[in-house]
Structure 1
């Protein structure tokens, strides 16, 4: 008899808490092999193909293409070891391709289902008494491994009773049983059980903020994640349950037509709403955090890049690979960071320390169809101009194709932003949190310039440096930027540091 295994969205690393389903690679009824990719998801970092750790027949899929799932939410169920119970592709508690309701975290419905109260969250197939004897995958995923996982305990969520007609409208959290005192909540058997003091285990700060903004007490929830971890689906289910709970009977007054409102309750004009998720959402979160946490300052200078452009032309006239301008600028940045290591650092706010790095992992901004990403060139200080050119080309191509891994997008210590490719002269960069500085480079264009005491037309570029004022003062930042400008104006200066 087949054992139905539930495959949940694994932890994809780098602190990622959710992913968007881009493309299903299997359908209900398909046969899958061990480690076969079953779904392509987009995280805030990259596009990832998720492999299934078991071989068998797909009995259900959870989530539609374009929808988001939190880490730990069910992706699909697989019948392992033989035909599924009942001879069909469906398993107890699992929805088929026709959109039947399926058990999900926090009692949330499957595709096409309605929110339910008192739903039993259990492993599909557990009602048949199936034991977990199937072999696991050798590809270790978080929550899955080479051995069978222990069976989850059965969890029942009781139905929250409606308040008395004379009582005020209940708070949004409504999963505490009536009469339960402070610090108590319903246990698995419906009895009141004490709630431990201290922070409630939540999968991410975003879920904690969602609960706080909605007036939801996390202590009243029973998390469906590992060891009672509260997932986003648990919070959303509690809010939906509260919205469907009946309130005291009051004769309703005629209500005006609904007006769209923003998060702060103010009316907003009609228009198209674009969700901030995936890469766009990650960029929004990181830039907001940078502005919120980093006391930044910006200085800038115009530099005569005529000699640098001539040097690049001479290098490319010789036999060998062509050298890009951004690679030359990267070499200059690396040399400047060796002289001013304060800017190759980060601030550890918990320890109140500035951490200076002894290696330069250089990030660079790359615009793609999916949004702005910042790939990282590892150990940029060990590469020459030719090696930097090749690595920039490789990472840029992978970024545009959506093939960057999370490791390619994290771990940077300093960022170079060449916004001159957009035809603009200058900008004030926002620091790529948690780094301490970013160098911005505008376009190189002919401008009137005083050269050797005479007015001449020269190739001029604007350089701007945004830095974290906690790691250094203006003298250090100005010295860094002045050294970069000197190398741009006289590339021979760079030879002294090589």
Structure 2
């Protein structure tokens, strides 16, 4: 029986996905739930399992194509089953496929196809591939690297992990060229960096001398001559596109107000040092972010307005008596905000473990789309970049977000004298439709009190 598999709704109403890498080819025999491809949504890189066991007869999109939900993706020949009666609609076809012995188990499988045609990026010839994806920041044509062999037409993608592919993509490096230089082995991030360094070194001489081989025309990048004014165009898609849309929606929907508080957190840093000194080797690492997360959960119980959401259609403010805590994470693919569910129920150690797992998953590009939505309050640690304060934008649907500044050793008034103390600034942005200035200030003070005197946590609990 022939069966078409359409791109399913991968969760949270996402409408499209980009094919990052096919892990199968036409003619391959696959098993149920075998990974067919890795696809990148607006929120995460997702492995796409096979809904059938059978032989692949067609791949309807190439790596790099953006495919709409509901569009044909893979054709199957399923052994031992008869061809179904042609369905009157894609929805009917999905229902029929669900009845056979190898039916799909994907979230949203069988979604009605989106209107419009899939968006496809221009395919490039092998010659163009060999010259196009140059790191424009070092401004060197690949042809200047004489030891790089020509890249033959390939049916398989270079072997690497999703984070490495994302890293290479973000730095304009074609993994096919890296693979051609390395041979048949898994490409690492270090390999990408080595390749970029080699391009940079060669570019010093290449920028002032004509290349030995003519550069193929390309719309992606071209050699930059010495002294030339140039620009680079970067496609807006994936996480960056989603983040931009969300931030614009939030900024022009919720009236933002930001209040700041600089405080002495020496007692907190001393507590962290003590806990680390006595912790087991495999215990989760407790840091300032973990303690602030605990302080926020305690304070939200007393200031529920910061944990509410605005329901304009119902004309109501919805107070949420649980804390799904968002933690902003800067990844190679852009900014994402994974959620720690029911954070208010966790101990300090539990929060530390959750933050560590969240960070590991985010950096590997494996955060599930469902784990990026539904937060009630968020934290962003700008201190790791050496920044003291800022005005964070609210994630859509949330009323509060707290930015943690850098902890600095500064002269500070302490017990009537000047002493060197650990000092940081907290920046709280909130939705002024729900929270007035007094409540915002009181909430921020409650969080600060815990950080200044961690023993106060027993009073707020």
The aligned counterpart of 1:448 is 411
The 3 A distance-change label for structure 1 pair 56 and 442 is same
TM-score by length of 2: 0.69
C-alpha spacing 1:310/1:133, structure 2 compared with 1 (3 Å): closer
Alpha-carbon distance in 1 for matches of 2:10, 2:296: 32
Q: Which residue of 2 aligns with 1:37?
A: 35
- Tell me the SS of whatever aligns to 1:496: helix
CA deviation profile, 1:326-362 (whole Å, cap 9, x unmatched):
1111110011101101000111111121111010111
Q: 1:50 aligns with which of 48, 51, 73?
A: 48
Q: What is the CA deviation profile of residues 373-412 of structure 1, one whole-angstrom value per residue up to 9, with x for unaligned ones? A: 1111111111111111011001100111111112222221
Tell me the residue number matched to 2:427.
464
Whose Rg is larger? 1
CA drift of 1:55 comes to 2.2
Deviation at 1:45, TM superposition (A): 2.0
Q: Say whether residues 1:135 and 2:101 are aligned partners.
A: yes
TM-score of the superposed pair, with normalisation by structure 1: 0.64
Higher relative CO (Cα under 8 Å, sequence separation at least 6) belongs to 2
The 3 A distance-change label for structure 1 pair 306 and 73 is same
TM-aligned CA deviation for residue 83 of structure 1: 12
Aligned to 1:485: 448
Listed as ranges, the matches of 1:145-294 within 5 Å are 226=112, 230-233=114-117, 271-294=231-254
| 1:134/1:414 CA distance change after superposition, 3 Å | closer
Taking the aligned partners of 1:381 and 1:491, their CA distance within structure 2 comes to 17
Q: Residue 33 of structure 2: SS of its match in structure 1?
A: coil
Compare the two structures and name the one with the higher helix fraction. Answer: 2
**Structure 1, gaps ≥5 residues long:** 86-120, 145-224, 237-268
Given the superposition, is the C-alpha separation of residues 318 and 346 from structure 1 closer, same or farther in structure 2, using an over 3 Å criterion?
A: same
Residues 388 and 5 of structure 1: is their aligned pair in 2 closer, same or farther, counting only changes over 3 Å?
same
Kept in 1: contact 2:50–2:104 (CA 8 A): no
**Equivalent-residue separation in structure 2 for 1:408 and 1:234 (angstroms):** 27
Report the Cα distance in structure 2 between the residues aligned to 1:230 and 1:27, rounded to whole angstroms.
25
Match for residue 459 of structure 2? 496
1:243 corresponds in structure 2 to none
Structure 2: 5+ residue stretches without partners: 121-228
Distance 2:107 2:276 in 1: 46
How many residues align structurally? 342
Q: 1:431 to 1:356 in 2, by over 3 A?
A: same
Change (3 A) 1:455 1:278: same
Shift of 1:230: 4.9
* Cα RMSD for the two superposed structures: 2.7
Match of 1:361 among 324, 331, 337: 324
Partners of 1:133 and 1:449 in 2: CA distance: 71
- Measure how far apart 1:420 and its partner are: 0.2
CA distance in 2, matches of 1:29, 1:234: 24
| Distance in 2 separating the partners of 1:43 and 1:307 | 43
Partner of residue 297, structure 1: 257
For residues 59 and 483 of structure 1, what CA distance do their matches in structure 2 show? 62
